[in-house]
Amino acid sequence: MENSIGTVIMATLFAILIYFLVTAQAKDPNIEEEELQAYNYMLSINDKMEKYLNKKVLSDWAYASNLTQENLNKNIKISAEVANIQKEIWHQIAQYNWQQFSDYSLRRQFWAYSTIGENALPEPQFKMLKKLVSDMESIYSTAKICDYKNSTKCDLLLEPDLTNILATSNDEKELRHVWIEWRNSIGPKCKDSYKSYVALSNEGAKLNNFSDQGEVWLKDYEDDTIKEQVHGNMWGQTWDNIAEKTLPYPDVEDSDYTAEMIKQNYTAIKIFQTAENFFKSINLTEMPRTFWKNSILEKPADRNLICHASAWDFYDQKDFRIKQCTEVTYEQMSTAHHEMGHIEYFLQYKDQPVPFRTGANDGDCISLSFGTTTHLRKIGLITSDNPDPKIVLNNLYRVGLGKIAFLPFGYLMDLWRWDVFSGKTTPDNYNCKWWELREKYQGLEPPVDRSEEDFDPAAKYHIIADVPYLRYFISFVIQFQFHRALCEKAGQYEPNNPKKPLHECDIYENTDAGNALK
């Protein structure tokens, strides 16, 4: 018994000793003093970064919304200035023992600044990299092809011309023509630039102590065959554009939401007002006046621009914009909700330190609630009051074409690039490896033979614009988890209750769900 008591006493004394050793280390006066200095330093650079990032985003916007050489030159110059500022901060924070700081928020801010990617490059190489990406973006955004039915009409752009053809045409020869000519107008022009882009990106990654750019892209994730052209999308990434051609119940009333939008005289502005109304109804923030004043919601007729839909935070707590060449389609309505979801995120974290002004998770759950038959009936895109199960099945079919068919594409986009950055895939087999992955994961093959003279990955904006894609793959999974949690909060979903199924949940006008989302 005495031995047992003695063992307990010794164990207790040992635990107390360890506690005091750990506590003494945590309260190292030198670290405490350094942490206080670091806190003040982080406050000072937050103000500095707001100013410079606002200047940079204004320049990014100017170029993306008007692709002129003058705007490009200004953009590269300002981007280099901001890169130099971030490089200074990068060197300064390396002098702090920030990993030992007790304040978790402060450690995370230092961690965020500890990797600066391409900004670590010497200025000449940085400017070269920016120009390479900008040139490829310009090639992509200004690419035009000739009309299959009129070879003298050679002004067809991706948005809206080619997108509409792929979504509506049943002529396989026309679809093949569009598929081939779009890739021919971009890939060969971008391949050499892409090789140089890979080399410079990897050089920047190594300056950040990563082996290649693929590792940099994965840094934030720290916690542990069919003929392609028939799928209604330029890249075969989602297949929902062909829903109207393949619906299980095509003759059911209310099956064509785009037609109903046109019938109801929807415009680009009305599409975004509808999206804003959704967010306001769940107690999120209405769009500021600057949004409506400064956003580009329709394609301007007087200039070339990057039409790829995007949301913008100008780092001044008041200027937030969307750039979207909106057409009156159901798909574009869904995109508007998606992009405005980014703006809502910006509005919620606008007063956070700069490193924290980014999405905590890659989700896209609002579009799920927007797309239910319950919600579409509320906003009048489904006009029948009859809850016909065939309408529900048609709608679920659309969701499947958009969400499930996307997953392999969302995965292989960066899988291909990781191998490119690591050197496993070399320039002499870029295209071959691309189509190996397309066939392996999507079951897709090109409508015509391809070779290394082609560079088909460049036909996708994110490839040539230096935009990682794994975020989309992850979002297409966890958005259903977010949606389920919000629906439970709203009292509209109960597991095993057939009267409250998840696919009929609509959080519209439910402030409990909106407050939880905040």
Q: What is the DSSP string of 168-211?
A: H---HHHHHHHHHHHHHTTHHHHHHHHHHHHHHHHHHHHHTT-S
Asked whether residue 73 is domain-assigned, the answer is no
Asked whether residue 462 falls in the same domain as residue 477, the answer is: no
Asked whether residue 380 falls in the same domain as residue 499, the answer is: yes
Question: Residues with Cβ < 8 Å from 376, sequence gap 6 or more?
Answer: 257, 382, 395
Structure tokens given for 188: 């060969």
Query: Is 221 annotated as ligand-binding?
Result: yes
Structure tokens given for 455: 């560079």
Last residue within a domain, chosen from 437, 453, 468? 468
Asked whether residue 280 falls in the same domain as residue 365, the answer is: yes
From the candidates 203, 439, 445, 462, give the one annotated as an active-site residue.
Answer: 462
Any idea what DSSP says for residue 287?
P
Query: Is 503 annotated as ligand-binding?
Result: no
Query: Is 430 annotated as ligand-binding?
Result: no
Asked whether residue 287 is domain-assigned, the answer is yes
Tens of pLDDT, residue by residue, the chain (518 residues): 444 444 444 444 444 444 444 444 445 778 899 999 999 999 999 999 999 999 999 999 999 999 999 999 999 999 999 999 999 999 999 999 999 999 999 999 999 999 999 999 999 999 999 999 999 999 999 999 999 999 999 999 998 899 889 888 989 999 999 999 999 999 999 999 999 999 999 999 999 999 999 999 998 886 554 445 544 455 555 555 556 667 778 877 666 899 999 999 999 999 999 999 999 999 999 999 999 999 999 999 999 999 999 999 999 999 999 999 999 999 899 999 999 999 999 999 999 999 999 877 666 788 888 988 899 999 999 888 777 888 888 888 888 888 888 999 999 999 999 999 999 999 999 999 999 999 999 998 999 999 999 999 999 999 999 999 999 999 888 999 999 999 999 999 999 999 999 999 999 999 999 999 88
Asked whether residue 299 falls in the same domain as residue 350, the answer is: yes
Asked whether residue 295 falls in the same domain as residue 365, the answer is: yes
Asked whether residue 217 falls in the same domain as residue 366, the answer is: no
From the candidates 244, 276, 339, 344, give the one annotated as an active-site residue.
Answer: 339
Asked whether residue 355 falls in the same domain as residue 478, the answer is: yes
Burial of 492 (0-12, 13-18, 19+ CB in 10 A): buried
Q: Which of 102, 111, 109 is nearest to 45 (CA)?
A: 109
Query: Is 231 annotated as ligand-binding?
Result: no
Asked whether residue 175 falls in the same domain as residue 269, the answer is: no
Task: Let me know: does 148 contact 177? Beta carbons within 8 Å.
Answer: yes
Q: Count the domains in the chain.
A: 2
pLDDT tens-digit series, residues 342-399: 999 999 999 999 999 987 766 678 888 898 889 999 999 988 877 788 888 888 888 8
Asked whether residue 265 is domain-assigned, the answer is yes
pTM of the model: 0.84
Active-site residue 483, yes or no? no
Domain that holds residue 168: 126-238+407-468
Asked whether residue 77 is domain-assigned, the answer is no
Asked whether residue 222 falls in the same domain as residue 366, the answer is: no
Asked whether residue 477 is domain-assigned, the answer is yes
Asked whether residue 322 falls in the same domain as residue 382, the answer is: yes
Asked whether residue 247 is domain-assigned, the answer is no
Asked whether residue 130 is domain-assigned, the answer is yes
Asked whether residue 230 falls in the same domain as residue 138, the answer is: yes
Element (H, E) at 486: helix 470-489
Asked whether residue 48 is domain-assigned, the answer is no
Asked whether residue 176 falls in the same domain as residue 217, the answer is: yes
How many CB atoms lie under 10 A from the CB of residue 436? 14
Active-site residue 339, yes or no? yes
